[in-house]
Amino acid sequence: MKEETNIESLRRALRSEPFTAADRIFVQFLADTYKEENPLILGTAALCNAATREGHSFLDLSSSQALPSLLLNGMDYVWPNLGEWERIVQSSTCIGKESEGFPLVIARRSALYLRKYYEYEKTLAHSLVEKTAPDSIHSPKSLPPEKQESPNQEDLQQVAVVQALKNQIYIISGGPGTGKTTTVLGYLTQAILSHEGENPLRITAVAPTGKAAARLSESIRNGMARLNLNDAIIQQLLGIPCMTVHRLLQGLPNRVTFRRNRQMPIEYDVIVVDETSMIDLPLMQKLLDAVPRTSSIVFLGDHHQLASVEVGSVFSDMTRSALDPQSPLFGKSTTLKKTYRFTEESSIFRFCEICRAGIVPELESLLQVQKNDFVFQAIEKASRQSIPPILDLMVEAHQKRLQAHSLETAFQSISNFIVLTPFNRGDFGVWSLNKLVDARIKRTHDADLGSFYQGMPLIILENNYDLELFNGDMGIVWPDPKTGELFAWFNDLEENLKRVRLNWLPKNDLAYSLTIHKSQGSEFNKVVGIFSPEENEFVSKELIYTCASRAKEKLILFGDIDFLKSGIQRSVKRATRLEEQILEINDSIEI
């Protein structure tokens, strides 16, 4: 009778947040296939599944702080301690050790994984340790004589170039405008010069989204103009293909697997990965799995930014591991600190630094003074009075776009202005703001609701390999210059505009405003950031920093001072064990 009561209480709990249909299906699968009958184990399995939606690799059984009270309400249980969990796990028919083949894996007494994420994390750690082998194709002795001397330790860009050439794996982290592209161009130039093979060095540069790959290609071309390079080097650098990680791995439509893997690795000698913080655990594992043992890989990113939308915080984990003297990654990273985009008096730069450090008094001072590049507008709790001024800014940006004299100019205007907000839902959420501004603009276009119109910005929400459009790609609706027919226009990976018929578009949405997560990999001249005070417990310093660091020229913040003060003191730590796995594998593997 007691177990029946607990089962019924579990069913009621699973119909409430944060649980979804996926959790209920998983619980039923464990009960039917593995004959698991313990309601506490079934409920904890649902929690483990739900934890992955929050980006965690595993559920920490030693901490009940994040445990939904709904799970235990009505059940005759208290949350077990670790000793009790060991006895419970031993009696379970669906939890076991790595080698036992169960759908749930227990590691280090308290880390409960879905098996696939345990395997992703362990396999990735193994690949990272393999890449630390001291047999780089660019050995120090092959460098030009001027580079054989010790670099100026105060010039972190030079340090990063020299050290990256000595290693098959290297990590370069830095905020916006710190010279990551210039550094990697220096690395690639020296790699080309030092290459002694008969065939040219095969190089590619990749990013997690199409827009990030396009921006990487643009950054490389612009960066070359600042360097004194001979024509031969310029031609080789211009020939570097920039693409998405999915395209590099040759993704298969409607599948999570790729053609390229350990058995059929990618055919490049040097791989540069940009915006690495956006890459989740499964994708990073599949990327490293497809990189040949003899190839070199350089990761670029900003470890202060938000972690990936999906499971893991791989770039942050790798960056921290590289600072651990016990780790095989130790010394294989450089963090660039000097900004070349902003002066130190720039309010955007100061705001980003304040967010990273969590300095509340300096934040208060900065918000009270309006600057040319920084404006703060207070939002009162439960007030919608700030919505009309935000809509006015969005409409103004749209009207400027319509004044473009060419398709190319109109497309480039997408990068001039954006509104960023943490959430999709709510009065200040993406869905509401896009709906409101869309309705206002359509009244001026005399267009029916639901129709496309000139100047409408779009964002793609799913991958379509036939059209080579990928989740996160941004485009614009604009007439064909020759026929006048409306098409959606996007950048291809060669930075050329390609048109797509409107009825062919994959799942998409308006892009007058975006979530901060969706904005990663992009930069805009003017950014409006909205931090309404209703859901402040979900806002962290990483979220605020990522929003601010999208702005190149001007940042306008709408928010509550107390909300922002609490936000920059809150840091999100995902439950991962990649650093620990790296140490464990390094101790056991013979490279």
Going 155 to 161 to 165 to 171, the CA torsion angle's sign is positive
Going 324 to 326 to 329 to 330, the CA torsion angle's sign is positive
pLDDT value, residue 153:
63
Integer Cα distance of 518 and 504 in angstroms: 22
In which order are the strands placed within the sheet that holds 497-500? 497-500, 486-491, 474-479, 457-460, 508-510
pLDDT value, residue 7:
80
293 and 163, same structural domain? yes
Q: Does residue 138 have a pLDDT over 50?
A: no
Using the 3D structure, point to which of 340, 359, 383 is the last residue of a domain.
340
Tokens of 417: 């202005």
Q: Which domain holds residue 131?
A: 121-340
| Lowest mean pLDDT across 137-151, 306-320, 396-410, 567-581 | 137-151
Q: Does residue 446 have a pLDDT over 80?
A: no
Angle at 283 (CA atoms; ends 278, 289), nearest 5 degrees:
130
Tell whether 116 is covered by a domain.
no
Report the DSSP pairing between strands 457-460 and 508-510: antiparallel
pLDDT value, residue 24:
94
Using the 3D structure, point to which of 53, 78, 107 is the last residue of a domain.
107
Q: Does residue 320 have a pLDDT over 90?
A: yes
Tell whether 114 is covered by a domain.
no
Tell whether 578 is covered by a domain.
no
236 and 189, same structural domain? yes
336 and 428, same structural domain? no
298 and 164, same structural domain? yes
Tokens of 15: 């119909």
Q: How many helices and strands in the chain, by DSSP H and E?
A: 23, 20
Q: Which residues contact 412 (CB under 8 A, 6 or more apart)?
A: none
Q: Does residue 322 have a pLDDT over 70?
A: yes
270 and 162, same structural domain? yes
Q: Per-residue pLDDT averaged across 343-359, rounded?
A: 88
Instruction: Give the DSSP letter string of 366-406.
Output: HHTS-BTTEEEEE--TT--TTHHHHHHHHHHHHHHHHT-SS
Q: Does residue 214 have a pLDDT over 90?
A: no
pLDDT value, residue 501:
95
Percent of the chain with pLDDT over 70: 91
CB atoms inside a 10 Å sphere around CB 457 = 23
| Lowest mean pLDDT across 3-12, 454-463, 551-560 | 3-12
- The pTM assigned to this predicted structure is 0.88
pLDDT band at 246 (very low <50, low <70, confident <90, very high): confident
Residue that is written with structure tokens 């496309």 in the block: 452
Tell whether 584 is covered by a domain.
no
In which order are the strands placed within the sheet that holds 296-301? 242-244, 203-207, 270-273, 296-301, 169-174, 333-336
pLDDT (tens digit per residue) in 177-204: 888 988 999 999 999 988 877 888 999 9
488 and 352, same structural domain? yes
Residue that is written with structure tokens 């490049």 in the block: 268
147 and 77, same structural domain? no
Q: Per-residue pLDDT averaged across 244-272, rounded?
A: 88
pLDDT (tens digit per residue) in 387-426: 999 999 999 999 999 999 999 999 999 999 999 999 998 8
Q: Does residue 141 have a pLDDT over 50?
A: no
162 and 287, same structural domain? yes
Q: Does residue 450 have a pLDDT over 70?
A: no
Quick check: helix, strand or coil at residue 419?
strand
| Mean of per-residue pLDDT scores for the chain | 87
CB atoms inside a 10 Å sphere around CB 175 = 23
Nearest to 459 by CA among 498, 504, 501, 505: 505
CATH number of the domain bearing residue 296: 3.40.50.300
pLDDT band at 74 (very low <50, low <70, confident <90, very high): low
